[in-house]
Amino acid sequence: MKKLLAIMFAVLMIVSIAACTKPEKPVEQGKVFNIYAWNDEFKGFFEEYYKVPEGVEVKWIINPSDNGVYQQKLDEALLNQENAPADEKIDLFLAEADYIGKYVDSDYTMDISKIGFKNASTMYDYTIKAASDTKGVCKGVSFQCCPAGVIYRKSIAKDVLGTDVPEEVQAAIDTWEKFDEVAAKAKEKGYYMTASFAETFRAFSNNCTKPWVDDKGNLQFDDQITAWIDQTDKFIENGYTLTAGVWDKEKTDQMFATGKTMCFFGPAWYYNFCMTNAMDETDGCAGDWCLVKGPQAYFWGGTWLLAANGSDNTEMLKDIFETFTVNTDVLKKMVKDKNQYVNNTDVVKEFAEDASYGNTAILDGQNDIAIFYELAKDIKWENHTNYDQLLNEGLQNKLQEFYTGSVDKDTAMKNFYQYIKETYPNIVVPEA
């Protein structure tokens, strides 16, 4: 009995202390902050640069992007959002350029001006446009901007072109015709121009002038997609590239010092995310790389942070958005230490104009921000559909079977149509 009394008093005391010290806030904030993501990229930045308010537990729910798994899991959770207990509701989720529209144009995302976040003038316009619904209501922010270029191996360029100076290399590959010619030269010297049949895909696909699916639901091939297929046919036939996919081991192995590949296509996130082999201390070749614009300006990917409707941690959401878009201290660290190209024109401009800045983590000390800064000016957000991820992925997977010699091209294309029928029954594909 004594014990029981003691416990009761203890509990009472704790409760009363807690009640007294509770800070007065207009809206009660949740104790668990749930984040849906498809990889660890943002998690790394978040844990390093964001200070989680005391008493809040951050839960990461990570599902891989391949085969649409991430979207499936996320959709499931969002559809259940209304009925989920407060601590299980999604607060923040990440979305990629290929399917962001699907979420932005829905009631599952929240108008971020309602939580007190104002889009800064330093943010790139296209990142705002991508996160805005058809009425122009913005639902989230991006912490990065993703202009992309060609990252080339200096030693191989020297051997093939006789020069490794960025300006001269750029002059040699500034159109696709010239790029193909250089590929032939590289082949003669025993090199590959690219390490994956799909390496140049984004450079073409992000310059499309019409979306994958028209208003009536018909599938349409843009000239850029056809051009990519034609180029890849030629590259595979002549042995200018490998049959590996963009994310395959066979391709990333080419980034070791022993690799024989001259060009890789990617934006700033590509360094940390895809080129770790090149930065390997023993087998890598950091410092042997330079960045140029390449044949065609484009952007690739980008991760947006979207505010989930129903979140009970709106203050923390606002705080996170601010940390990764306007907190210049954090953003500068992200550029300097993580080689990111952040979504803040002031910060990147400062680096672009800073003659003393250079990327030494992977490049030869070149100021890559200056190049990305120029490229970023051209990025436009248009012709995107919610189907992009699975259509891009499907086209590459089905054509890969043709390039590896398992099927002929006609079969591969028909397999692609069948894949669409199974994945999106509402899209009309050309009949056989």
Partner 1 sequence: MENKLKTNNGKLKSVSYAKWGYIFIAPFFIVYLLFTLIPQFLTIYNSFFETYRIGLSQVGPNFVGLKNYIELFKADPNGTVLILKYAWNTIWMWFLGALPQFVVAMLLALFFTSIRLNIKGQGFFKTVIYMPNLIMAAAFSMLFYALFCKGGPIQTLLTNKGVLEMEFDFFRHRVTVRGMIALMNFLMWFGNTTIVLMAGIMGIDQSIFESATIDGANSVQVFFRVTLPLLMPIFVYCLITAMIGGIQMFDVPQVLTKGDGVPNGTTRTLVMYLNNYLKTYNYGMSGAISVIIFIITGGLGGIVYKILSKQYKDPEAKHRERKGKVI
* Tokens standing for residue 422: 């199974």
List 304's β-bridge partners, or say none: 95, 142
Do 265 and 103 contact (CB within 8 A), yes or no? Answer: no
* Tokens standing for residue 122: 């330093």
Q: CA angle 149-153-157, nearest 5°? A: 100
* Tokens standing for residue 199: 């390496």
Q: Is 109 helix (H, G, I), strand (E, B) or coil?
A: strand
Spatial CB neighbours of 379, under 8 Å, sequence gap ≥ 6? 124, 126, 145, 146, 147, 297, 299
Of 49 and 419, which has the nearer Cβ to partner 1?
419
Residue 130's alpha-carbon distances to 145, 162, 381, 405, in angstroms, are 12, 42, 7, 38
Of 123 and 229, which has the nearer Cβ to partner 1?
229
* Tokens standing for residue 361: 């983590």
Which residues contribute to the site for partner 1 (CB under 8 A)?
A: 66-68, 72, 75, 78-79, 102-103, 106, 108, 243-244, 248-250, 253, 386, 397, 401, 404-407, 411, 414-415, 417-418, 421-426, 429, 431-432
Q: Which residue has the tokens 């091939």?
A: 221
- H/E segment holding residue 37: strand 32-37
Q: Is 69 helix (H, G, I), strand (E, B) or coil?
A: helix
Least CB distance to partner 1 at residue 396 (A): 11
**Residue (of 281, 241, 234) closest to 260 by Cα position:** 241
Show the beta-strand stretches assigned E in 63-191: 90-96, 140-142, 147-153
Q: Is 320 helix (H, G, I), strand (E, B) or coil?
A: helix
Helix axes 409-423, 388-403, angle to 10 degrees: 150
* Tokens standing for residue 143: 């912490």
Show the beta-strand stretches assigned E in 41-104: 57-62, 90-96
* Spatial distance between the Cα atoms of 407 and 419, rounded to a whole number of angstroms: 15
